Structure 1
Amino acid sequence: MTTISADRDHVASVSLATAAHDPQDFATRLGQSFERHGFAIVADHGIDADVIARADAAARAFFALPDAVKRQYHLPGTGGARGYTPFGLETAKDATQSDLKEFWHVGRALPAGHAFAPYMPANPWPAEVMDFHASQIALFDAFDATGGRLLAAIAHYLGIDAGWMADSVRDGNSVLRLLHYPPVSPDAPGIRAGAHEDINTITLLLGAEEAGLELLTRDGQWLAVKPKPGELVVNVGDMLQRLTNNVLRSTTHRVRNPATERRGFSRYSMPFFLHFRPDFLIETLPGCMSAERPDHYPQPITANDYLTQRLREIKLL
């Protein structure tokens, strides 16, 4: 497989601001991009630049801490659901080498006694970075709100009730991931993030301006995803692909090691993995089945069971 240049094909940018006055046009552009690429680039997403900058600064401050300090926040046996996951631990499905990254997970904070508490442990917070807690919660909430707007557009595109779609993710097991890819040597083995698909419903990604993110096209070539500064990269996850019977595609993607002149630099990004409720039954939508498109997933599965299955595959459980 080879890499193709963005001038032969590309992921177009769509403006979320247009959804307010022309929801049909935005939904169509977003949905068609998801059908073709499994990815879309979203401009005017509404996440405040100051909220992003604060969270980014706090994340970088944490990753700059000594390794021994960071490892105090690693919680073995949790599937990396919360806190710190050290460098080289996560491995893409079916890969033999671990990814060249470390990350921190912030999950949804639930009130005491909530029915989903068994699925969502409390968040640890690093005492060494004063603004970490407040800044990451603010970014989580902003991502969650924008994700809801995008799901409404997806519901519009699929011709299903937006309220039903919103309920499918209400108090869902969503996760904000703060990612650090350290500098790599010229002969570094592996890849910053091996070829994989995302497990969840949709992923919203900030910080992809640094080159490296690529998606695998239908004809087996790697296409660079190139958002402009501040734009959001959004991609379909396996749960949504399953719900829509492959109408919306969960596309294989990776983060390549950088070009030689950029190997001495770290790469930081902040993906938000929007998830269904743990008890949501992922069952093929009737409108996504036909004689030409039979049901590829006749056996329904809850979102939590599916998540557990996939975490085992990537060696986090």
Structure 2
Amino acid sequence: MERIPSVNLSDFVSGDPVRKQKFVNEIGKAYEDIGFVALKGHFLDDTLVDNLYKEVKNFFALPLETKKSYEVPGIAGQRGYISFGKESAKGKKEGDLKEFWHFGQYVEDNPALEAEYPKNVEVKELPEFNRIGKETYRMLEKTAKYVLRALALHLGLDEMYFDQYIHNGNSILRPIHYPPILNEPKNAVRAAAHGDINLITLLMGAQGRGLQVQKFDGEWIDAIAEPDELMINVGDMLSRHTNNKLKSTIHRVINPPRELWGTSRYSIPFFMHPISDMKLDVLESCIDEDNPKGFEDITAGEFLHERLVDLGLVKK
């Protein structure tokens, strides 16, 4: 396999049971084989995408002191601005060559969760940044919901199994700016090799080279999406919940060739997280003689905390 499989969500929502099952089979096989798909037929329209990129570029073009005024201490970077080089991959001391922003959940009808999550940060200088960020968050969350419904069917679960856990989930929309590289990086790359923490990740901006996925034989392949596709991969929570039946794949963003060092790169992942008290215990249907239970019981909130410590965003 030298390229990431492509699937079309419109098959799943078509109302045609044959097309729906085709989508379930295709995405299930891709996630068992490599853990990534390129997805067409999502709920983002071209105008929303264009407006989002415009607002994201406007934000990162603000003076550094203005951006830093939106960096919130004490919340492990869960909302607002996170400055250049702050985050590093697990086991790597060099900070990644990026700055980014976090939009979080817009909680509905649940005061307890509203109190649990940090509040979203409003950028006074760019009101459209806030509005369009929220609209994008909602459309990516809707897309993720249907992908998880398909995966529930593939796993032999009720189609709506994940709905209860992702409604008001602790999901994050992360616009990332990889600035121009001005000096020879010392062991640092735009994003070092890592697996994602969450259930699934939906990535905008994977057009062009940069994102690479590690196959299970160790070889790295380019993951390049068409302009109308999202790249969607399995995260560690879902891999753990399915006893590694669905694969969380190591991936990275490499530095561009030297002649392109002077250019910025933007990408916008949506990390689909469940509510904190979802049990990630291995599903019984994913355990058999050849695949004994491989992970201890843990909740999503406990697992997230462990990983934020690993990333250096939370102190033990």
Q: TM-score range by the shorter chain?
A: over 0.9
Q: Distance in 2 between matches of 1:10 and 1:113?
A: 42
Q: Distance in 1 between matches of 2:255 and 2:177?
A: 13
2:222 counterpart residue number: 224
Q: CA RMSD in A?
A: 1.3
Amino acid at match of 2:259: E
What amino acid does structure 1 have at the position aligned with 2:93? T
Give me the whole-angstrom Cα distance separating, in 1, the residues matched to 2:250 and 2:141: 24
Report if aligned partners of 1:171, 1:277 keep a CA contact under 8 Å in 2.
yes
Show the 5 A alignment for 1:59-74.
59-74=56-71
Contact 1:168 1:277 in 2 (8 A): yes
Q: Which residue number in structure 1 is paired with residue 4 of structure 2? A: 11
2:269 to 262, 271, 278: 271
Aligned length: 309
Aligned equivalents of 1:230, 1:260: Cα separation in 2: 28
What is the CA–CA distance in structure 2 between the aligned matches of 1:203 and 1:12, rounded to whole Å?
A: 16
TM (norm. structure 1) is 0.95
Structure 2 match to 1:87: 84
Residue 164 (1) aligns with residue 161 (2): yes
State how 1:1-317 maps to structure 2 within 5 Å.
9-19=2-12, 20=14, 21=16, 22-111=19-108, 114-185=111-182, 187-189=184-186, 190-297=188-295, 299-317=296-314
Which amino acid is 2:221 matched to?
Answer: L
Compare relative contact order (CA 8 Å, sep 6+) and give the higher one, 1 or 2.
1
The CA distance in 1 between the partners of 2:208 and 2:61, in whole Å, is 19
**Structure 1 residues 88-120: Cα deviation after superposition (integer angstroms, max 9, x where no partner):** 000000012110000000001225862213431
Unaligned runs of 5+ in 1: 1-7
Equivalent position SS for 2:202: strand
Q: 1:241 to 1:50 in 2, by over 3 A?
A: same
Contact 1:239 1:282 in 2 (8 A): yes
SS at match of 1:254: strand
* Cα shift at 1:234: 0.2
Residue ranges of structure 2 left out of the alignment (5+ in a row): none
Distance in 2 (CA, whole Å) between partners of 1:195 and 1:303 is: 22
CA distance in 2, matches of 1:46, 1:122: 25
- 1: CA distance, partners of 2:45 / 2:51: 10
- Percentage of identical aligned residues: 38
Cα displacement string for residues 246-296 of structure 1 (whole angstroms, at most 9, x for unaligned residues):
000111100000112221110001100001111111111111000000000
Regions of 4+ moved over 3 Å: none
Code of the aligned partner of 2:235:
G
